[in-house]
Amino acid sequence: MIEMSEVYKTYPNGVLAINGIDIVIHPGEFVYVVGPSGAGKSTFIKMMYREEKPSSGKIVINGIDLSTLKESKVPMLRRSIGVVFQDFKLLPKLTVFENVAFALEVIGESPRNIRKRVLDVLDLVQLKHKARFFPDELSGGEQQRVSIARSIVNNPAVMIADEPTGNLDPDTSWEIMHLFEEINNRGTTVVMATHNKEIVNTLKKRVIAVEDGKIVRDEARGEYGLYD
């Protein structure tokens, strides 16, 4: 569950990026965040995993109140949220297996459990056969599948993605979307900022439209709208 009430965010340079957002996203929902460039989509999403802090207002993620959350507890929050980026953000010197295993190693899982869990999620993204490859030996779509495997290896309640198909061709983008659907069908909440009009208008989900830091539209099975 994601809850925001009266959330505002002004960056240190004075830019008002979020101008009063109230929202509830229930467990198991699939939500697109759309809107023009500079509208505040990434800021909205970053506040969910404490990459950015709101200037005021209340944010509760999976029962964790971020306004009172100590810095030392941020890793605990991050374990309940998987994050996927446009540019994948894989560690170049680690293999596919190691990139995915990393999140489990830091929480002290046993090597045996790590191996099982990593191979399970690599199987889900159909990359088990490339477990020993390095990121630069993979296509963009494959790299994004690794980053998706990494994001869900902890079994997070929520998966957040900021333009996950932004660097991918249309066919590969659809593959990634089918993977997101499958992850959502297994019960994970998915929140995805996107400029991909075709995907939003075809694979119908809840659409939250952000403009000038405000939610201007919130529709079940909504449309992309008139943005670029």
Ligand X SMILES: Nc1ncnc2c1ncn2[C@@H]1O[C@H](COP(=O)(O)OP(=O)(O)OP(=O)(O)O)[C@@H](O)[C@H]1O
Which CB atom, from 96 or from 192, has the smaller least distance to ligand X? 192
Per-residue contact flags (x/-) with ligand X for residues 38 to 77, judged by CB under 6 A? xxxxxx----------------------------------
Smallest gap from Cβ 137 to ligand X, in A, equals 29
80 DSSP 8-state letter: T
- 56 and 6 Cβ atoms separated by less than 8 Å: yes
Cβ at position 44, least distance to Mg ion in Å: 9
# binding residues, ligand X (CB under 6 A): 12
The answer to the question of residue 11 lying near ligand X (CB under 6 A) is yes
Residue from 184, 113, 185, 126 nearest 153 by CA: 113
CB of 16 to ligand X, least distance (A): 8
Residue 42 binds Mg ion (CB under 5 A): yes
Residue of this chain nearest to Mg ion (CB atom): 42
Backbone angles phi, psi at 66, to 5 degrees: -70, -20
**Tokens encoding 42:** 């990434």
* Residue among 145, 140, 141 nearest 96 (CA): 145
Q: Which residues, including other chains, have CB under 8 Å from residue 98's CB and lie 6 or more apart?
A: 91
Rounded to an integer, what distance in angstroms lies between the CA atom of residue 2 and that of residue 111? 32
Binding site for Mg ion (CB under 5 A): 41-42
Binding site for ligand X (CB under 6 A): 11, 13, 15, 17, 35, 37-43
